[in-house]
Amino acid sequence: MTRVVRCKSCSKESVTISSYLGLCGDCIRTDFDSWSPEILSLHRRLRETDGLPGEPACTEGGVVCKICGNHCSLGIGDIGYCGLKAGEANRVNFISGTPKRARVSWYLDPLPTNCVADWVCAGCSSSGFPEYSCAQGPEYGYYNLAVFYEACSFDCLFCQNWHYRSESHHEHSVQEVVSAVSEKVKCVCFFGGDPGPQLIHALATARLARRKQAVRICWETNGNLSEKYLDAVIEESLASGGTIKVDVKAWSESISYALCGVSNSRTLAVVEKLLKVARERPDPPLVVISTLLVPGYVDDGEVRSIASFIASFDANTPYSLLAFGPSFMMTDMPPTSINHAQRCLEVAREAGLRRINIGNRHLLGRDY
């Protein structure tokens, strides 16, 4: 029997309404002020179940943490949204995320790998040869060192890697991570969770890895990065031939709050800066933007706005539309349909983008 949910606001019934949210995407966009207390309360309760702060700290007169874009204002005893920073008198105490210790794990991923940028990056395609790649095509026989940071600055209801929130954490130094870099490793990709809350450790790892040998430095992030460290992130990838992959979850701030628990304003500001810098190295592309096509919420209207924004800077920016697979708090949702993905591809093209890809095609399902 097909599962159908009734929207609490407009009473519309659809298979593309999350039973966890209980609201359709249109009502979230048009009447967010009415529903925001309930939406944010859902995120708060979910995070507290996993022992995480319910919302970014905003204590008046607190010390501002500038590691990620949430900029938590921490009073004495406050814990940052990521769970890794604590407020003390006139300082931020790092529970984790320093060069000596970070909540991180890693593994060797054979190239070509299932990367958001695999269709345009130096390790998995013909881009970047010979300056940044050792093969005129995928670097078969070599590896990507995938470095997973066990913290995040978002609270995505569809998170594919949510297990780290409730599992035992792994704490390791920069030196321990870099010990996995051998002559067979061609790129190091920081992801998670998200590398944002532990950027100090990630940047130190990137620099030590590059001193050890020539590797590309890549990032897979929600883009909620602090201005304080953004230039350093760009520098490591720009110089090494790596790629910065930013997942723009939504265009509407209301949809971002509903799906991810926080605003997307910092992500869009970071993307704007990245797109301006990306002109310095078109091959391999410095920046790849992606969007997860969450049924009922991230529709062709959201994609059109995101694509238009990207195209206003550079129409050749690679843009990957990712198929959604039910996960975490949205396990009862359908996967992205073929028609949904095709509509979004068409509107992105109409918005002016020239390099568009549909990723995770194996997840695509029938129409709703």
The per-residue pLDDT for range 115-134, each reduced to its tens digit, is: 999 999 999 999 999 999 99
Distance CA(186)–CA(193), nearest Å, equals 23
Q: What is the rounded distance in angstroms from the CA atom of residue 214 to the CA atom of residue 134? A: 11
With pLDDT > 90 as the criterion, what percentage of the chain qualifies?
96
**Confidence at residue 368, expressed as pLDDT on a 0 to 100 scale:** 84
pLDDT band at 166 (very low <50, low <70, confident <90, very high): confident
Strand partners, 114: none
Structural tokens at position 295: 């049924």
Res 170: pLDDT = 86
Q: Say whether pLDDT at 278 is over 60.
A: yes
Would you give the DSSP letter of residue 149? E
Q: Please write the tens of the pLDDT for every residue from 47-78.
A: 999 999 999 999 999 999 999 999 999 999 99
Give per-residue pLDDT as tens, 201-244: 999 999 999 999 999 999 999 999 999 999 999 999 999 999 99
The total number of residues written for the chain in this structure = 368
Q: What is the pLDDT of residue 269?
A: 98
Share of the chain above pLDDT 70, in %: 99
For the cut 60, the answer to whether the pLDDT of residue 1 exceeds it is no
Residue 339 reports pLDDT greater than 70: yes
Beta bridge partners of 365: 337
**Do the Cβ atoms of 91 and 63 come closer than 8 Å?**
yes
Q: What residues have CB less than 8 Å from 109, skipping those under 6 apart?
A: 143, 144, 145, 146
pLDDT of amino acid 14: 97
CA-to-CA separations, 21 to 63, 152, 212, 264, 303, in angstroms, rounded: 33, 21, 48, 19, 21
Cα torsion for 218, 220, 224, 226, to the nearest 10°? -20
**Which residue type, as a one-letter code, is found at position 272?**
E
User: Is residue 2 over pLDDT 80?
Assistant: no
Complete domains list, the chain, with CATH: 102-363 (3.20.20.70)
The neighbouring-strand residues paired with 222 are none
**Cα dist from 105 to 147, 174, 210, 362, whole Å:** 6, 11, 19, 27
Residue range 305-317, pLDDT digits in tens: 999 999 999 999 9
Confidence at residue 247, expressed as pLDDT on a 0 to 100 scale: 98
Say how far apart CA 46 and CA 166 lie, in whole Å. 12
DSSP 211-272: HHS--EEEEEE-S-B-HHHHHHHHHHHHHHT--EEEE---SSHHHHHHHHSS-SHHHHHHHH
**What are the phi and psi torsion angles at 307 (to 5°)?**
-65, -40
How high is the pLDDT of residue 73? 97
Q: Please provide the DSSP assignment of 33-46 as one string.
A: HHHHHHHHHHHHHH
Beta bridge partners of 110: 143
Residues 6+ apart with CB under 8 A from 87: 57, 59, 62, 63, 74, 75, 76, 77, 78, 79, 93
Burial class (CB in 10 A: 0-12, 13-18, 19+), 200: middle
Tell me the two tokens of residue 147. 């470095």
Residue 102, pLDDT > 90, answer: yes
CA angle 129, 272, 215 (to 5 degrees): 30
User: Mean per-residue pLDDT for 260-272?
Assistant: 98
172: how many CB neighbours lie within 10 A of its CB?
A: 18
Q: How confident is the model at residue 168 (pLDDT cuts 50, 70, 90)?
A: confident
Which pLDDT does position 148 carry in this prediction?
98
Nearest to 68 by CA among 179, 155, 10: 155
Query: Distance (Å, rounded) from C-alpha 245 to C-alpha 231?
Result: 15
* Residue 169 binned pLDDT confidence (cut-offs 50, 70, 90): confident
Whether the CB-CB separation of 226 and 184 falls below 8 Å is answered with: no
- Residue of 248, 246, 159 whose CA lies nearest to 195: 246
Residue 346 has pLDDT above 80, yes or no: yes
Tell me what the pLDDT averaged over the chain comes to: 96
* DSSP 8-state secondary structure symbol assigned to residue 182: -
